[in-house]
Amino acid sequence: MHVTVLGLGRMGAAMAARLADRDHTVTTWTRSGRTLPGLASAPTAAEAVAGADLVLLCLYDAAACRSVLDSLSGAVPHDAVVVNTATVGPDEAAELAAALGPAYLHAPVMGSTPAVAAGGLTLLAGAPSLAGPAAGVLADLGDVVPCGSPARAAAAKLVANGVLAGALLTLRDSRTRARELGLDAALTWDVLERTSVGGLVRAKRQRLDAGDLAGADFTAGALAKDVRLLAGHAPSAAGLLAETERVQLAPEDDISGLVAPRHGLTLAPGVTAPPEVLEPLLAYVAGHATGEASYHRAAFLPTAHVEGLRDGAFVSWTLDEFCALFTGKPADDEAERWRRIEHLSTSGSTGTAVLTLQHGADSFTDVFVLLRVDGAWRIANKAYHRRSG
């Protein structure tokens, strides 16, 4: 078949490569101009679809789908099938189907890039049955589950990704309980591999052991988008959304960060803040996690002081004195440490924040005064209390 793949993110690139390996003729296009070695590309989406038997949309959301489809007005061959793998809301899937008519097949996928390479995706096809040119192409990507309509296929995908988010949070909570019971990480994962969520542990264990969130198989930003969609259509998912948003992850981080968040940082229930207010606190936590004082210099104003009791005596450090405590290396037990933002509020250009830091046997309560200076939030001063044992 002649397949045009529109969108070359992680999944689009993987699907284009898989279909080329299965002897389909593949033409690609992406808004970023990215190309794949060995595969034909076109300068515009309209040129890419010329002569296609099947057009595969591998885009981020419904807005991207509408934008690309609008640019294709009249360009898609009349006998071609448009297969949309994007995760969108049921109403959005129905709207796209109404716009394109019988040529449109909504088929969001379950699985990440390793599953694409193995032909092991699950495709939730928005049709009662599948025949014609789309059938063979989708079979080369994985198993097809007929869902009856585009809206039902979109809804099924949201339910599936809700299960994924819930399973990741279950692993996070189980890891916390194991730590409270004195179990080390290796034994914890060994045990959890043998539970009902064992497949997910096995898939993510290498990342979890290494604390590696880079080069995501499935990004935290994409899963968060999907959970927001789910909560928007299923009110009972509001709690799931709140729990996923408590974990502070970069959008490009792997979803394993929901189990073991970057630098062990979460938000207490009910705590919210714009990203710019969180920024100095994230830098502060990064300084503790990495041992790099440069993060603290980015977090604090140069005039800041850090005050508290150390070995029973009052100390008041300048920023330079505080930074001198850091060696440039993470603590040996960093993988077991965690931090939580308990409180965060602002009023005008001022704010306050309270963090709990569990560092080995020591627990710290840090209280911050925040100021917005020259348009950016910084920590003006910090006071802390330390509890040992």
As a three-state string, the secondary structure of 234-269 is: CHHHHHHHHHHHHECCCCCCEHHHHCCCHHHEEECC
Domain boundary among 245, 260, 275: 260
Of 260, 287, 305, which residue constitutes the final position of a domain? 260
Three-state secondary structure string covering 133-179: HHHHHHHHHEEEEECCCHHHHHHHHHHHHHHHHHHHHHHHHHHHHHH
273 lies in the same domain as 242:
no
Q: How far apart are CA 42 and CA 301, in angstroms?
A: 50
Q: Which amino acid, residue 26?
A: V
216 and 337 share a domain?
no
Mean pLDDT on 72-93: 94
- Looking at the structure, do residues 32 and 133 belong to the same domain, yes or no? yes
Q: Report the mean per-residue pLDDT for the chain.
A: 94
Last residue of a domain, one of 114, 131, 148: 148
Examine the pLDDT at 132 and tell me if it is beyond 80.
no
Instruction: State the burial class of residue 326 (Cβ atoms within 10 Å of its Cβ: 0-12, 13-18, 19+).
Output: middle
**What integer pLDDT is reported at residue 251 of this predicted model?**
87
* Domain at 226, CATH number: 1.10.1040.10
CB atoms within 10 A of CB 242: 15
Quote the distance between the C-alpha of residue 73 and its chain's center: 33
CB atoms within 10 A of CB 99: 12
Output the pLDDT for position 129: 66
Are 44 and 139 found together in one domain? yes
CATH number at residue 314: 3.10.450.50
Contact by Cβ (8 Å): 152, 108: no
Residue type, 91: D
pLDDT over threshold 80, residue 128: no
Let me know whether 83 and 39 are in one domain.
yes
- 35 and 86 housed in the same domain: yes
Q: Are 87 and 226 within 8 A, CB to CB?
A: yes
Could you tell me the residue range of the domain that residue 196 belongs to?
156-260
Per the structure, how many domains does the chain have?
A: 3
Tell me the per-residue pLDDT of 219-262, one tens digit each, with 9 for 90 and over.
999 999 999 999 999 999 999 999 998 888 888 999 999 998 88
